[in-house]
C-alpha cells in the first residue's frame, strides 16, 4: 500500500485504504455502520497520566436527539455553545453527511500530500494551495447533493446557498495550509454545521505522521451525542494544576497588538506550565484538548470555519469554551479559549485581563461575521 492511500486508524501502521470514489448522496432511510475503531486500548504500561482518554473508551452508541437543556457545561460554570438539537434533521443523518464531506476533502488532501505544491498567497505569509480549493470543491459536492438548500460558508469560496436556511455549514478544506505546504504535521480538514447559529454536528480529519508515513484519524461529535475519535468515545484530561499542564496557542498573520499580547501570554504560560506549543491548525489544537493530550488552547482572530467543528468536539468531550475575556462564546466571535474545564478559571486569571487591555486599546471584538439574514438563536 502506498503512503498516499487514505486510512482511518489510530496507529501509524496502515490497516486499510478507502478507494477514491465520489461520495454518493446519503438517503435518510440508510444508516451506515461506523467501521472506525482504535486497534488498542491504552494501559498503564503506555506511561500515560491518569487523565488520558482511556477512561472514555465506550464505543459510539446511539446519538442523543437533543442536547442537555442546561445553559452550562457539566462543571456548571461556562455557557454551552452546542445547539439545543440538530433541528428537523436527525443527528444520525446529519453526522453521516458531515463525516462523508470531511472524508471526501481529506481524500483530496491525501492524494496531494506527497506531491509538489502549487502555492499562491493571500498575504505576505498567508498562503493557499490548489489542494485547498480542490478539497473545498469536493466537500461542497457532498453537502449540496444531500442538502441543496443549506447555507455554506467556505474559507476559499465564501457564502453560497439559501440565507433563510437554519443550517450553516462552516468549512475549512485544509486547516494548517502552511504545515501542509511544508509536509509538516499538523493539518486537517474541518467541517462543522450550525443549527440556528450553534454547532450541531462536526467532523475533523487530522493528518498525522509525516512524509512517507502519512495517516489520519477522524474526530466527530453531535450536539448532546458525545465526542469520538475513530469511533471511540473521548474526554478531556483531569489535570487540575496549570504547572502540570501542556498548553497550545496560535498566532495570526498580522503582527499587531493582539499578536504582541499573545506573545506575552506565551512567555507567561511557558514559565508556569510544562510548556506551550504552537502547532498551526486551530481545529487540530481543539481536538487535541478534547482527546486529553493537552489541557487548553487559545487564540485571537480566528474565523468561523476555524472553530465551528473544534468547539463542538471539545465541549462534547467534557471541555469548556469561552471567549478570551471569559464571555459567552459563539462561532462568529474573534477569540476563543478552550480547556478541560477544570483549569479554565485559572487560565482566565491571566488571559482575561490581557484581553481587556486590548479592548481598552480599541481592538474590535465585535462579531467577526454573520451571514446577512441568517437566522440564529444567539
For the stretch 277-307, pLDDT in tens is: 999 999 999 999 999 999 999 999 999 999 9
Which part of the chain is CATH 3.40.190.80?
242-360
Count CB atoms within 10 A of the CB of residue 272: 14
Which residue is it, cell 453560497? 160
Q: Is 174 annotated as a binding residue?
A: yes
For the chain, the average pLDDT equals: 82
Query: What does the DSSP 8-state code read for residue 46?
Result: G
DSSP string, 231-243: TEE--------GG
Which of 50-54, 63-67, 216-220: highest mean pLDDT? 216-220
Q: Is 155 annotated as a binding residue?
A: yes
Question: What residues contact residue 245 under an 8 Å CB cut-off, 6+ apart?
Answer: 239, 273, 274, 294, 295, 296, 343
What's the pLDDT score for residue 122?
58
What's the pLDDT score for residue 374?
86
Q: Is 172 annotated as a binding residue?
A: yes
- Counting residues of the chain whose pLDDT is more than 90, the rounded percentage is 66
Which part of the chain is CATH 3.30.540.10?
64-233
Q: How many helices (H) and strands (E) does the chain have?
A: 7, 15
Kindly report which listed range (44-53, 97-106, 156-165, 206-215) carries the lowest average pLDDT score.
Answer: 44-53
What's the pLDDT score for residue 12?
32
Contact between residue 172 and residue 147 where contact means Cβ atoms under 8 Å apart: no
Kindly report which listed range (3-12, 132-141, 258-267, 305-314) carries the lowest average pLDDT score.
Answer: 3-12
Instruction: Supply the pTM of this predicted model.
Output: 0.81
Q: Is 306 annotated as a binding residue?
A: yes
Extended strands (E) in 263-312: 275-277, 296-300
Q: Is the pLDDT of residue 8 over 90?
A: no
Contact between residue 332 and residue 307 where contact means Cβ atoms under 8 Å apart: no
- Counting residues of the chain whose pLDDT is more than 70, the rounded percentage is 76
Query: Higher-confidence residue: 51 or 359?
Result: 359
* Residue 117 burial (C-beta neighbours within 10 Å; 0-12, 13-18, 19+): middle
* Residue 127 burial (C-beta neighbours within 10 Å; 0-12, 13-18, 19+): middle
What's the pLDDT score for residue 120?
64
Query: Higher-confidence residue: 15 or 271?
Result: 271
Q: Is 58 annotated as a binding residue?
A: no
- For 53-91, what is each residue's pLDDT tens digit? 345 655 554 433 333 333 444 444 899 999 999 999 999
- The CATH number given to 64-233 is 3.30.540.10
What's the pLDDT score for residue 119?
66
| CATH 1.10.390.10 fits domain 242-360 | no
What's the pLDDT score for residue 255?
87
The backbone torsions φ and ψ at residue 220, rounded to the nearest 5 degrees and listed phi first, read -150, 160
What's the pLDDT score for residue 152?
97
Amino acid at each position: 500500500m502506498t503512503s498516499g492511500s487514505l486510512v482511518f486508524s489510530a496507529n501509524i501502521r496502515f490497516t486499510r485504504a478507502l478507494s477514491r470514489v465520489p461520495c454518493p448522496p446519503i438517503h435518510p432511510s440508510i444508516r451506515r455502520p461506523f467501521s472506525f475503531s482504535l486497534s488498542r486500548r491504552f494501559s498503564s504500561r503506555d506511561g500515560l497520566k491518569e487523565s488520558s482518554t482511556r477512561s472514555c473508551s465506550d464505543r459510539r452508541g446511539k446519538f442523543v436527539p437533543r442536547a442537555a437543556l442546561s445553559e452550562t457545561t457539566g462543571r456548571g460554570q461556562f455557557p454551552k455553545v452546542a445547539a439545543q438539537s440538530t433541528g428537523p434533521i436527525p443527528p444520525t443523518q446529519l453526522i453521516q453527511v458531515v463525516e462523508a464531506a470531511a472524508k471526501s476533502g481529506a481524500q483530496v488532501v491525501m492524494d496531494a500530500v506527497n506531491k509538489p505544491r502549487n502555492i499562491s498567497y493571500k498575504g505576505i505569509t498567508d498562503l493557499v494551495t490548489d489542494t485547498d480549493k480542490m478539497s473545498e470543491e469536493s466537500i461542497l459536492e457532498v453537502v449540496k447533493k444531500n442538502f441543496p438548500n443549506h447555507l455554506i460558508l467556505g474559507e476559499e469560496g465564501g457564502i453560497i446557498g439559501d440565507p433563510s436556511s437554519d443550517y450553516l455549514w462552516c468549512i475549512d478544506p485544509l486547516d494548517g495550509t502552511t504545515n501542509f505546504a511544508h509536509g509538516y504535521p499538523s493539518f486537517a480538514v474541518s467541517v462543522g454545521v450550525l443549527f440556528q447559529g450553534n454547532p450541531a454536528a462536526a467532523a475533523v480529519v487530522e493528518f498525522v505522521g509525516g512524509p512517507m508515513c502519512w495517516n489520519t484519524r477522524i474526530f466527530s461529535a453531535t450536539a448532546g451525542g458525545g465526542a469520538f475519535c475513530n469511533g471511540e468515545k473521548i474526554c478531556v484530561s483531569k489535570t487540575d494544576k496549570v504547572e502540570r499542564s501542556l498548553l497550545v496557542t496560535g498566532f495570526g498573520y498580522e503582527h499587531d497588538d493582539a499578536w504582541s499580547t499573545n506573545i506575552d501570554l506565551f512567555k507567561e504560560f511557558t514559565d508556569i506550565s510544562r510548556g506551550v506549543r504552537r502547532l498551526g491548525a486551530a481545529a487540530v489544537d481543539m481536538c487535541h484538548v478534547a482527546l486529553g493530550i493537552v489541557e487548553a488552547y487559545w487564540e485571537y482572530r480566528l474565523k468561523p470555519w476555524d472553530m465551528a467543528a473544534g468547539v463542538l468536539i471539545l465541549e462534547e468531550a467534557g471541555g469548556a469554551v469561552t471567549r478570551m475575556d471569559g464571555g459567552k462564546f459563539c462561532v462568529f466571535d474573534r477569540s476563543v479559549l478552550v480547556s478541560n474545564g477544570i483549569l479554565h478559571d485559572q487560565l482566565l486569571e491571566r488571559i482575561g485581563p490581557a484581553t481587556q487591555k486590548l479592548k481598552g486599546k480599541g481592538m474590535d471584538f465585535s462579531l467577526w461575521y454573520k451571514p446577512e439574514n441568517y437566522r440564529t438563536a444567539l
